Amino acid sequence: MKGTVLILGASSAIARATAAAFASRGYGLYLAGRDEEELARDAADLAIRHQVPVATGRFDAEAFAQHPAFIEQVVEASGELAGVVVAFGYLGEQSRAVHDWDETLAIIQRNYTGAVSLLNLCANRMEQAGTGFIVGIASVAGDRGRQSNYTYGSAKGAFALYLQGLRNRLAPAGVRVLTVKPGFVDTGMTFGLPGMFLVASPRYVGERIARAVERGRDVLYVPWFWRYIMLIITHIPERIFKRLKL
């Protein structure tokens, strides 16, 4: 056994696939989420399929005050972590967020503040141990603000910047930080959304994430071609971009 990977937001489709990819490589798992029954079902399935230990626990990304005790509970159950994956997130509705502060706050907290609260705790432990890896699932939406999802995009963009700083801080301690920027992935989050193209499967994304960790990558656009799509999008001059309906 290679140690335990904590999966935060384990019931997400991408998280499930990532958990399976790590389990198939011999890592134990700690699946954390809000729906304990679902977590227990997933844990039983992964443990049988891959013959690795799988523990579960409840957390809420927005319950900041409970995060220190939650991380203690994880380490008590599974030992110091080999890795942590932040997979939880919330797309929300941009058109609602414009008028509804609660929706705006939910988008920011579920994509950014909650992740920072939990990763601060994990990062300090890994830095002290001098080993471990951190995976943060950001988004291509964080590379440029667009009218259709700029609240979500700004939270993901802030998260990517946080991960970049964390990578810079933790590199001397031997702790690796991977920023994942998926394009469109076929999950509950994107189900029924208009304008989707080049949609990837969660399984493909999960496998790429585990492989990128093995290879010590810093930033992963997944599928790979999104790096070039975003390169073009980020280079469109603002005076033109602001007139586009994106």
Q: Which residues are designated catalytic? A: 152
**β-pair partners for 29:** 5, 54
Q: Which residue from 20, 85, 87, 121 is in contact with ligand NAP, where contact means CB under 6 A? A: 87
Beta carbons of 56 and 36 less than 8 angstroms apart: yes
User: 6-42: b or e for each residue (b if 16 or more CB lie within 10 Å)?
Assistant: bbbbbbbbbbbbbbbbbbeeebbbbbbbeeeeebeeb
**Quick check: 149 binds ligand NAP (CB under 6 A)?**
no
**Quick check: 89 binds ligand NAP (CB under 6 A)?**
yes
Q: Which of residues 119-138 bind ligand NAP (CB under 6 A)?
A: 137
Q: Which residue from 4, 5, 6, 9 is in contact with ligand NAP, where contact means CB under 6 A? A: 9
Q: Which residue from 4, 11, 56, 78 is in contact with ligand NAP, where contact means CB under 6 A? A: 11
Beta-carbon count within 10 A of 105 CB: 15
Say which amino acid occupies 72.
Answer: E
| Residue nearer to ligand NAP on the CB measure, 123 or 222 | 222
Q: Which of residues 46-75 bind ligand NAP (CB under 6 A)?
A: 60-62
**Quick check: 207 binds ligand NAP (CB under 6 A)?**
no
Cα-based distances in Å from 120 to 44, 64, 109, 117, 163: 30, 11, 15, 6, 11
Query: Using CB under 6 A as the criterion, which residues of the chain lie in contact with ligand NAP when the complex forms?
Result: 9, 11-14, 33-35, 60-62, 87-90, 110, 137, 139, 182, 184-185, 187-190
